[in-house]
Chain A
Amino acid sequence: MTGTLIPALARGRAAAPAVAGPDRVAEASAPAALEAPRISPQSRRRRLGRGRLFPGARLAGPLLVLLVWQVAASAGLLDPRLLTGPDVVAVSGWGLLQDGTLATHVGASLGRAVLGLALGTVAGVVLAVVAGLTRVGESLVDGTLQVKRAIPNLALIPLLILWLGIGEEFKVTIVALGVLIPIYINTYSALTGIDTKHIELAESLGLTRWQYVRSVLLPGALPGFFVGFRLAVVGSWMALIVVETINATSGIGYMMSQAQLYAQSDIILVGLVVYGIFGFTSDALVRLLERRVLSWRRTLAS
């Protein structure tokens, strides 16, 4: 009989049928055991969680949308001036790729995004460190940036055009300003929110100010910085879309607004797909970087 007892925690699917046999035999041959508690193989507990995700599950939704869209387009339900089918979008995209148009525009957009992101990140980190490390810096920088935060970036466009014209400097500046705020806010709050226990430890070990900043403060603030950086990457694309749609002679946004003039919905969709790919890829890259840099946290999260 004891052979039928399996630990309550063992939930192996294979284990249950294997021990069902002896239990049934025991039941049949022992009618006197009526009052004894019935011992039966542990059945699998009802799972109340959401269960496991099947591989590639996240693609199911988008693929379904694509399928419905294609079927509707092929059946002639869609006006091609307003929305062409995915096949036409693919062909147009291929064409733009072949004649180099897409590469030119993507290159222009990517250049602005990367430059703006780099400038905004450096500025955001420097300001956060200045505000986070010194009281003077805090009183000078933090209030100013909180005011800046309250002003929407796009509201600065008229002034910036007046100052910088409508060239590249203007576009990169808008992107950088959009990046600066989330980087600053998150890095600053991580720097000032450092655990006082860690500060006490640093004091008790007699660390110098520089050792403290390098070994305790900056690594401790790194997770906060990455929260800001991921927001900033998304924000840089958003800012880009706006500036490229308003005043530009190149870039994905320009390509799309031109297509709008000629009612080329396929090219608009190519632009949207490119933006989507960029946004998705850059976020994945940042997450990869974050995992690398914050490897001490990896096993915590998993």
Chain B
Amino acid sequence: MATHPRELTAPPAVLRTTALRRSFGERHVLDGVNLEIGRGEFVALIGRSGSGKSTLLRAVAGLDDTVDGSGEVLVPERVSLVFQDSRLLPWLRLLDNVVLGQSGAAARERGRAMLAEVGLAGRERAWPHELSGGEQQRAALARSLVGEPQLLLADEPFGALDALTRIRMHALLRALLRTHGPAVLLVTHDVDEAVLLADRVLVIEDGAFSLDLRIDLPAERTAEHPDVSRYRARLLAALGIGAPVTSPASLSGRTSS
């Protein structure tokens, strides 16, 4: 795989993987991945299911001890993870969930402030199951940011939410990143989400990157921005989906061919 030409202005890297290989039996899910993410950079990773995007994220997160592989992963000291499900522990109240693993006297204060930032002030003593799905995921975001990570890894964090909640979560995530400024590696299957949030979108296919696309849009962007559809089309093409189907005629044409 060709390495990407590095810009001279590129910020120092917080994550670097070199020749990362992972395989399940005979199948090479990651085939020599070189990835570098700069400080504060938001990278979205998209790909079809089975393309290796989750495997890459788990490798970076160090959650794949049992998987065969080789290569080097350099990560910063503070890395945190957000999963598709909130993974709040049902037997801990919300604040205890948020500060789990945090030490020091100020941890609870930080947790309280973090809950307020995600709009859950006053819910510190709630049990996780008393919250809606969106609220649970907001609490999970609070938990992932309370330790001020330098790198935030997110594995389809909004995949299980309804469309309206997802839009609100995008705005929240953007606001949180502005304040806390970690680099982000977001795995998603949602092309729009990738274009709307990321500085850079990587398309992964058969365990290697097939496209590395910089998104030159203002940080505060909406789906109405004229360039968004251009980026979306390029990414869809890279995913092998082609132009969106618009009429029943083209639909039948596609199925018959």
Chain A interfacial positions (CB closer than 8 Å to B): 197-198, 200-207, 211, 215-216, 219-220, 222, 294, 296-297, 299-300
Interchain CA distance A203-B64 in the complex, whole Å? 11
- On whether A207 and B100 interact (CB within 8 A), knowing A197-B83, A299-B127, the answer reads yes
- On whether A204 and B61 interact (CB within 8 A), knowing A215-B89, A296-B127, A299-B129, the answer reads yes
A197 near B85: Cβ-Cβ < 8 Å: yes
Interchain CA distance A280-B100 in the complex, whole Å? 40
Interchain CA distance A27-B143 in the complex, whole Å? 62
Of residues 67 through 85 on chain B, the ones whose CB sits less than 8 Å from some CB of chain A are 80-81, 83, 85
Partner of B87, one of A198, A294, A297, A299: A198
A204 near B91: Cβ-Cβ < 8 Å: no
A-B contact pairs, 5 of them (CB 8 A): A200-B87, A203-B63, A205-B80, A205-B143, A220-B89
Taking chain A's interface residues, is the majority helix, strand, or loop, or is none over half, making it mixed? helix
| CB-nearest residue of chain B to A293 | B91
| CB-nearest residue of chain A to B130 | A299
Of residues 158 through 186 on chain B, the ones whose CB sits less than 8 Å from some CB of chain A are none
- Residues on B with C-beta less than 8 A from A211 are 100-101
| CB-nearest residue of chain A to B78 | A206
**9 tightest A-B CB contacts, nearest first:** A205-B101, A204-B81, A219-B91, A201-B87, A296-B91, A296-B127, A207-B101, A206-B101, A197-B87
A300 near B80: Cβ-Cβ < 8 Å: no
Interface centre among B61, B87, B91, B92 (most CB of A within 10 A): B91
- On whether A198 and B89 interact (CB within 8 A), knowing A203-B63, A204-B63, A299-B130, the answer reads yes
Q: Give the distance to chain B from A213, nearest Cβ to Cβ, in Å.
A: 13
For chain B, give the interface size range: 10 to 19
Partner of B83, one of A201, A202, A215, A220: A201
A215 near B87: Cβ-Cβ < 8 Å: no
- Residues on A with C-beta less than 8 A from B89 are 198, 201, 215-216, 219-220
Please, what's the 1-or-0 string for B78-115, where 1 marks a CB less than 8 Å from any CB in chain A? 00110101010111100010001100000000000000
Interchain CA distance A299-B101 in the complex, whole Å? 27
Q: Give the distance to chain A from B209, nearest Cβ to Cβ, in Å.
A: 24
Interface centre among A204, A207, A215, A294 (most CB of B within 10 A): A204
- Residues on A with C-beta less than 8 A from B96 are 215
Interface centre among B61, B80, B89, B143 (most CB of A within 10 A): B89
Q: Give the distance to chain A from B130, nearest Cβ to Cβ, in Å.
A: 7
| CB-nearest residue of chain A to B96 | A215
Q: Give the distance to chain B from A215, nearest Cβ to Cβ, in Å.
A: 6
Of residues 232 through 254 on chain B, the ones whose CB sits less than 8 Å from some CB of chain A are none
| Contacts A200-B83, A215-B100, A220-B91 known; 5 new A-B pairs at CB < 8 A | A197-B85, A201-B89, A204-B80, A206-B101, A299-B127
- Residues on B with C-beta less than 8 A from A202 are 101
Q: Give the distance to chain B from A176, nearest Cβ to Cβ, in Å.
A: 29
Interchain CA distance A206-B129 in the complex, whole Å? 24
Q: Give the distance to chain A from B48, nearest Cβ to Cβ, in Å.
A: 24
Q: Give the distance to chain A from B67, nearest Cβ to Cβ, in Å.
A: 14
Partner of B90, one of A203, A215, A296: A296
| CB-nearest residue of chain B to A298 | B127
| CB-nearest residue of chain A to B90 | A296
- On whether A215 and B92 interact (CB within 8 A), knowing A200-B63, A201-B83, the answer reads yes
| CB-nearest residue of chain A to B101 | A205
- Residues on B with C-beta less than 8 A from A299 are 127, 129-130
Interchain CA distance A220-B88 in the complex, whole Å? 12
- Residues on A with C-beta less than 8 A from B127 are 296, 299
Interface centre among A201, A207, A220 (most CB of B within 10 A): A201
Q: Give the distance to chain A from B234, nearest Cβ to Cβ, in Å.
A: 33
| CB-nearest residue of chain A to B127 | A296
- On whether A300 and B129 interact (CB within 8 A), knowing A206-B101, A219-B91, the answer reads yes
Q: Give the distance to chain A from B75, nearest Cβ to Cβ, in Å.
A: 12
Interchain CA distance A294-B85 in the complex, whole Å? 23
- Residues on B with C-beta less than 8 A from A296 are 90-92, 127, 129
- Residues on A with C-beta less than 8 A from B62 are 203
- Residues on A with C-beta less than 8 A from B92 are 215, 219, 296
